[in-house]
A and B are shown apart, each in its own frame.
Chain A
Amino acid sequence: MKCGLWLLTAAAWCATIEPQHIVLSGPGASQQLVVTGSGCRVTSTSTTAAVDVGRMVVTGIARGVAELVAACGTETARARVEVRDQTAGQWEPRFSPDVISVLTIKGCNGSGCHGSPAGQNGFKLSLFGYDVEADHQMVSNRVNLAEPEKSLLLRKPTFEAPHGGGRLMSPDSEEYRTLLSWLKQGAKISSGGARLIQMDMYPREAMLTGPQPIAVIGRMSDGTTRDMTREVRLTTADENVARIEAAVVKPGAPGMTTILARGMGQVAAMRVGIAAGGAARPLPVNNFIDTLTGARMQKMGVTPAALTSDAEFVRRVFLDAIGRPPLPEETRAFLAKPDRAALIESLLARPEYAAFWTVKFEDWFRNNQLNSQGRAMGTFKEWIRDSLRQDLPYDQMVRDILTSEGDSFLVPATAFWAPATDFMLKKFEVNRAVPTVTRLFLGVRLECAECHNHPLENFTQDDFYGLSAFFARMRVKHGIGEYRRTWYLEDEGEVAHPVTKKPVAPKLLGGAAQPFDGPDDRRRTLAEWITNPANPYFARATVNRIWHAYFQTGIVEPFDDLRMSNPPTNPELLDALAAHFVKSGYRLKALHRVILNSRTYQLSSRSAGTTAAELERMLFARYQPRKLTAEVLLDSLSQVAGAAHTFMWHPKGTRAMDVYMPDQPDSFLVTFGFPRRDILCERAGAPTLSQTLHLMNGKTIQAKVEEKDNILASWESLPDGEAVTALYERAFARKPNEAELGMGMEFLAKGSARRKALEGLLWATLVSKEFQLNY
């Protein structure tokens, strides 16, 4: 069924009815429906179920099976409804799901209130109600069975008793009646009932042209379904694009966003889009990337930017792929024969490619010198650089890291574990290692599951400790003075579950528990699973990370937060890139190559129209200008000025990329965002006051400008126009336009001393926005 896939057609053109499988049980049970199509009429083929067309609700009447038919013009769509037990009886709300639903929709168990890890004023609930038993115990202390109306459970939210959360319900509300009725029936947990095993929200994706009703259906362990449309907390990620009012999504400004439904430990997501008006010009196709990004742009009515010029491209691709601007001769060679694919190929073959991307991987792998680990840090840096230069398969690199053991001076990859060491106890801290591994290699943020079940994904504390168990036997020995460490595996040792205190068996995410005593290094099992081509996360997480480096925006954003409740903006693109990466044998260069050669990467940074900037960013409809990172900026300043920077403990001429960082990072690099690297944290792309002041008045640029034998030394006798042109070619990989040539020449002519004037020109060039940015 192609309808509903917003890539291929607009959902509104063809009829759909959701949910397609409904199992109603209990008197009066009903389910919200969502129907798309124009002028639809929905009917039931049997008297067992009735459809209220006005409210789009189907209600069970008698046992049996009915088919619902939505007729929309010439199109029809069908859904199946099974009606089970209809025995009348008094409705009995149960703790789960009824009471927990009230606590969820009223926000009681949200992270800002009683769902926070510490609870609120002694009343602590599990986040969005994942832990039924614990919640029942908590709630039980707040009931008065003799006089149910006097229960704190009612007096607090109605504000009869002072309540920090204010007044949340009135005594004549349906929620109040649910709670009261449950209290009157003994406030029992009533175990043994059907459990919620899955929750779905419809439509899964929608292009909004008007208000869009939502239906949420819970699938229970006894095979029945439950209408949860009004029992979940619905939120929107971007209020400007879509708002929620009483289970209806209302469109706002053009854009794309995600609607989340949360309740009873489950979460469901829906992507919505609002197209920009007008017809969009198509994106020319260089490779599969463009087919997939272009389709989305079309769908959203966004015209892609034009192809960037050769001069802009050569500077951009040098900076993005090897971390420095082209030399004038390199620019001239390319412009004489502007073969972009050949240029990309030659850049990827250079050692500078490896040096530049090594710095990124060092950030990601948290390669730092803290706690006297300078030497191990250096060997790890070299190992990453060599691996990238040889384009070793990335899955192999990751397996080597995850299974590394031995002397930190001899086995470089062991440096990966250094940030997970407790200095005081001289101990490997498995709880610090696990979330790093999942986030880096799976794009899964598991930190929260250390203490509670993941509120936005179906990961639990058991998953966290199941993964920890793979590292349960890792140990570290410190040499004298802490510098040298030995990582090894013990023959025994287990991780204890914080709640049950029992040893936890190794368990892969979403997999079954493994035996405690296999013959091999448990970490190998984990490493093989992570890097297996069938693993749904590894390749996607990796390609999204690299994609983010080029586009500043991931296909999933944040780029290391892949989960069902945070869907990709372009799932087809993410899948296709991941498949390409796997097929290439996990070669990073293959990934760089296909991205750099795409039309999408080669688009100009100038917007093609008046579309919302945010939408252009999410669709990759133009290149996003970005600040040069600390190392790239410093190397570029040195290269263009012809004046090398001096780093402590390094020979003159060492490039910032190649600096090992023993103890004291260079102050320029720190000012411009060199990170501490002991936590997982991206470098900030925003400017700061210190940076601006340092550019304006700082000694770094001034020293380069003044250095006697810098590039200006050979320009002193050049005519003004030629000097200005030479500088533009050197700094910006382009010739100045007429206005720029004029103002440069005017500046030189006004200056009294020739050298001073040239210095001023060079200074303005190095401080200029064009120099600070890649665009």
Chain B
Amino acid sequence: MESNRRDFLRVGSLAFGGLELPSLLAAEPSRSERSCIVIFQNGGASQLDTFDPKPDAPHDVRGSFGSVATTAPGIHFGGLLPRTAKAFSKFAVIRSMHSDEAIHERARQYIFSGTKPRNDLLHPSYGAVLSKERGSKNGLPAFVVIPDKDLSAEAGFLGPAHDPFVTGDPNAKGFAVKDLTLPAGVSEEESQARRQLLAKMDAQFAKVTSSPLLSDMDEFSAKAMELIASPSARKAFDIHAEPDKVRDAYGRTGVGQGCLLARRLIESGTRLATVFHGGYDTHREHEKGVKRLMPDFDQAFPALLEDLEQRGLLATTLVLVIGDFGRTPKLNFSGGRDHWPRGFSVALAGAGVRGGVVIGKSDVHGGEPVERPVTIEDLGATVYHALGINIHKEYRANGRPVRINKDGAVVRELFA
């Protein structure tokens, strides 16, 4: 036994000599404090409109938005993203993502977890893994979704304790986080009295039966009360405390205020916040729909990067711009673009990701990768690498050893 232990120690020290062992990641202190903001283009945005325009393609491919030059020579983005293009020095783009999941729910689950959906097992999304591995901080929920729950971004086999906390819409008038404050019409005093009665009733019931379930429920009640009462949580959720100038800079839109709320939460201790920006599922009248959405994104995303940078948070915060999948290169007969997982783009910023970098290349129509194809597993490994999460750790689910990411390779070129 004794000699085994010594041997183990020797393995550990040798590892620093050149072997890449996951423990190395864990040993680096800064990574364990990293957090993440995901801007999710709900429904799947077109790679041609965002980060991979094809101005020389026929009209029914390139569409009518044109393209705009970025800060990097020779690199253009879609014509609806002028501000994003100007901020390109702060983020990187992968133009060669590819997958084969074309159903929204499965595709979303895939890209939220970095692991192909299985028939029998729900893999945890990035936020749930951070919740599990890092836990909560300052009384804030570790994993937050803005504004609404989506069944694709869940804890899966890590268990519902790591499911996201849902905020509601921060752009709504008089926004208060969902279920965190008393419903209208109930005074603080009434509520106190009700809770006292409830506590007495529950105490009576505790004499009737026993189960681990009862203590679990107590634990969550305590957590809920802690969150309700937590000054740091209240403060973090109070988007009204933000100066109008800042709120306006992000844009008074769902995605704008969502990103701002995400920044406030990350700043206060949340590990991962997902902001859903909806409505990209444009099977018909694609351009009409996208014209409404893109400007909101184009304001929010650069504003978020700027704000994070100014606050010194960009170095420790990974920002991801992802969606279900891409969209068909050719407009269909209803002027729409359909689901297209075979080739699409994503953007990454912060947490060590270099700015102004383009990874991979798609074909002339933006249909499929022709250079440096990147799988969603690779993206997952990259996300976990940036966040300092060990993907080699074994969890148990369905009575078997499983990992949160399988066979993904970190996209090293993204990092300095």
- Interface residues in chain A, defined as those with a beta carbon under 8 Å from any beta carbon in chain B: 111-112, 118, 159, 162-164, 166-167, 370-371, 422-424, 432, 435-436, 439, 445, 447-448, 558, 561, 566, 604-607, 613, 624-627, 665, 667, 670-671, 673, 675-676, 678-681, 684-694, 696-699, 702, 706, 737, 739-740, 743-744, 747, 750-751, 756, 760-761, 763-765, 767-770, 772-773, 775
Contact = CB atoms under 8 A, between A and B. Distances in A.
A772 B198 CA distance: 13
Nearest to B151: A676
Given A111-B401, A684-B160, A764 B198 contact: yes
23 contacts: A111-B400, A118-B407, A162-B18, A370-B103, A423-B103, A424-B341, A435-B119, A558-B399, A605-B211, A681-B120, A687-B216, A687-B217, A689-B223, A690-B179, A693-B180, A697-B179, A697-B228, A699-B183, A740-B204, A743-B201, A768-B198, A770-B202, A770-B208
Given A164-B19, A447-B119, A740-B204, A424 B339 contact: yes
B180 A760 contact: no
A760 B193 contact: yes
Contact of B202 (A424, A436, A769): A769
Contacts of B394: 112
Interface string B10-29: 11001000110100000000
Interface string B181-192: 111011000100
Interface stretch (B63-71, B161-169, B380-388): B161-169
B172 interface: no
B210 interface: yes
B160 A688 contact: yes
A626 B216 CA distance: 12
B216 to A, nearest CB: 6
Contacts of A693: 178-180, 224, 227-228
Given A627-B213, A689-B163, 11 more contacts: A370-B104, A423-B102, A424-B102, A436-B119, A447-B120, A566-B399, A625-B213, A679-B120, A706-B185, A760-B193, A760-B197
Nearest to A671: B149
B21 A164 contact: yes
Contacts of B148: 667
A743 B200 CA distance: 8
Nearest to A434: B119
Given A118-B406, A607-B210, A693-B227, A760 B119 contact: no
B7 A159 contact: yes
Contacts of B117: 679
B377 to A, nearest CB: 11
A666 to B, nearest CB: 12
Contacts of A439: 120
Contacts of A624: 211
Contacts of B213: 625-627, 685-687, 773
B79 to A, nearest CB: 29
B209 A605 contact: yes
B220 interface: yes
Contacts of B339: 423-424
Q: Give the residue among A448, A624, A687, A706 with the most B Cβ atoms within 10 A.
A: A687
Nearest to A625: B211
A760 B152 CA distance: 36
Contacts of A159: 7, 10-11
B105 interface: yes
Nearest to A762: B194
Contacts of B159: 684, 686
B175 interface: no
A702 B185 contact: yes
Contacts of A371: 103
Nearest to B221: A692
Closest 7 CB pairs of A and B: A693-B179, A424-B102, A625-B211, A702-B183, A692-B224, A764-B198, A167-B7
Contact of A775 (B10, B209, B223): B209
A775 B149 CA distance: 30
Contacts of A696: 179, 221, 224, 228
A624 B210 CA distance: 9
A698 B179 contact: yes
Given A679-B118, A765-B201, A686 B208 contact: no
Given A689-B227, A692-B224, A370 B182 contact: no
B224 A689 contact: yes
B120 A687 contact: no
B236 to A, nearest CB: 16
A558 B399 CA distance: 8
Contacts of A605: 209-211
A706 B186 CA distance: 10
A708 to B, nearest CB: 13
Contacts of A743: 197, 200-201
B88 to A, nearest CB: 31
A204 to B, nearest CB: 21
Nearest to A168: B7
B122 interface: yes
A108 to B, nearest CB: 15
A769 B121 CA distance: 30
A747 B398 contact: no
B151 A697 contact: no
Contacts of A686: 159-161, 213, 216
A504 to B, nearest CB: 20
B252 interface: no
A697 B217 contact: no
A121 B122 CA distance: 27
Contact of A760 (B194, B399, B401, B407): B194
A561 B159 CA distance: 20
Contacts of B180: 693, 697
B355 interface: no
Nearest to A768: B201
Contact of A702 (B18, B118, B178, B186): B186
Nearest to B185: A706
B214 interface: yes
Nearest to B394: A112
Given A111-B400, A671-B149, A679-B118, A690 B190 contact: no
B42 to A, nearest CB: 13
B141 interface: yes
Nearest to A561: B399
Contact of A167 (B11, B141, B197): B11
Contact of A692 (B122, B195, B220): B220
B214 A625 contact: yes
A769 B217 contact: yes
Contact of A737 (B105, B118, B202, B204): B204
A435 B120 CA distance: 9
A358 to B, nearest CB: 21
B250 to A, nearest CB: 26
Best-buried of A167, A566, A737 by chain B (most CB within 10 Å): A167
Nearest to A426: B102
A692 B151 CA distance: 18
B112 to A, nearest CB: 13
A697 B190 CA distance: 13
B108 to A, nearest CB: 10
A770 B160 contact: no
A667 B149 contact: yes
B62 to A, nearest CB: 23
Contacts of A773: 213
Contacts of B186: 702
Contacts of B183: 697-699, 702
Contacts of B163: 688-690
B100 interface: yes
B197 A764 contact: yes
Nearest to B7: A167
A760 B186 CA distance: 9
A665 B101 CA distance: 22
Nearest to B22: A164
Contacts of A690: 149, 163-166, 179
Given A689-B223, A690-B165, A770 B216 contact: no
A470 B202 CA distance: 55
